[in-house]
Amino acid sequence: MDLTTFLIQCLNSVQYGLLLFLVASGLTLIFGIMGVINLAHGSFYMIGAYLAFSLSALLGSLPLALLVGTVLAVAFGYVLEWVFFSYLYDREHLQQVLMTYGLILVFEELRSLLVGDDVHGVAMPDLLAGSIAIGNGMTYPVYRLFVSGVCLLLAIGMYLLISKTRLGMMVRAGATNREMVQSLGINITLLYRVVFAVGVALAVFAGMIAAPVSSVYPGMGGQVLIICFVVVVIGGIGSIKGALVAALLIGFVDTFGKVLWQEGAGALVYVLMAAILLWRPAGLFKAG
């Protein structure tokens, strides 16, 4: 592997890792703060990808689709928490698993009914469709750089939101001690609903922005869900920082695994997880 290929693969790893982070951060927030295991989180990614496909065809532009899709996602997450999740918090994990498993089946079939089972591609916006030369006659698509940049901005934004704002303070406090936050007079119901809506929106957004790179296909939700579980397990439940580190780690392992050892790449991330579990059963970073 020469230096240019190595560089390209590094860029791919970062892009994949940051994308994973967007999905996994919502998952880890919902775990960490509400204690809910949400199997349907991968479906939000799938819904995002199909939204990008349908909306960009409808509106004629991907950026516009991103904007409209994100607004829709927040509203969707808000209502979803209200109808399906708000009474799950006091239930056992098992019931949460079952309920969200049922939601996956419903989302997948609705997708099949509304959009069909075909694999679709989504065109990149013209402005970002080109590629830049990175030496040795190799080029790198601008859109992938754009994806990485946007994800990075969102990651920084999330960091600032959680560590510097009042909302973030409530979120951190809620993750540590729910009853205490409640007794301080903070509307925990609303807080949960907002956090859930943001988590959904992040996953949907990740699905939308990834659509031109990864194509849109049935079953993409389940795939991303399980990788995100690995991210959360490695990073530590509820830890945003852990999710970022773990997502990047997985991005590199998976991308380079596929280049160097095609057959075993699928299993490699799980081997990594097993190794980290042996070393640190609670993940790299504890929540807090």
109 binds another protein (CB under 8 A): yes
Cα–Cα distance, 260 to 80 (Å, whole number):
42
Angstrom CA distances, 108 to 12, 96, 105, 200, stand at 28, 18, 5, 16
Find residue 120's DSSP bridge partners.
216
Q: Are 175 and 33 in contact (CB under 8 A)?
A: yes
Give the orientation angle of helix 265-279 with respect to helix 240-260, to 10 degrees. 140
Nearer to another protein, 111 or 144 (CB): 111
Residues 21 to 40: which contact another protein by CB under 8 A?
Answer: 31, 35, 37, 39
E strands, the chain, in order: 131-133, 139-141
149 binds another protein (CB under 8 A): no
Tokens 């990834």 identify what position? Answer: 210
113 binds another protein (CB under 8 A): yes
- Runs of H (alpha helix) within 60-92: 62-80
- Selected from 116, 121, 149, 264, the binder of another protein by CB under 8 A is 264
- Selected from 94, 118, 133, 179, the binder of another protein by CB under 8 A is 94
Q: How far is the CB of 116 from another protein (least distance, A)?
A: 12
Nearer to another protein, 171 or 273 (CB): 273
Q: Are 46 and 206 in contact (CB under 8 A)?
A: no
Residues 214 to 243: which contact another protein by CB under 8 A?
Answer: 222, 226, 229-230, 232-233, 237
Binding footprint of another protein on the chain (CB under 8 A): 31, 35, 37, 39, 84, 87, 91, 93-95, 97-99, 101-106, 108-110, 112-113, 222, 226, 229-230, 232-233, 237, 263-267, 270-271, 273-274, 277-278, 281-282
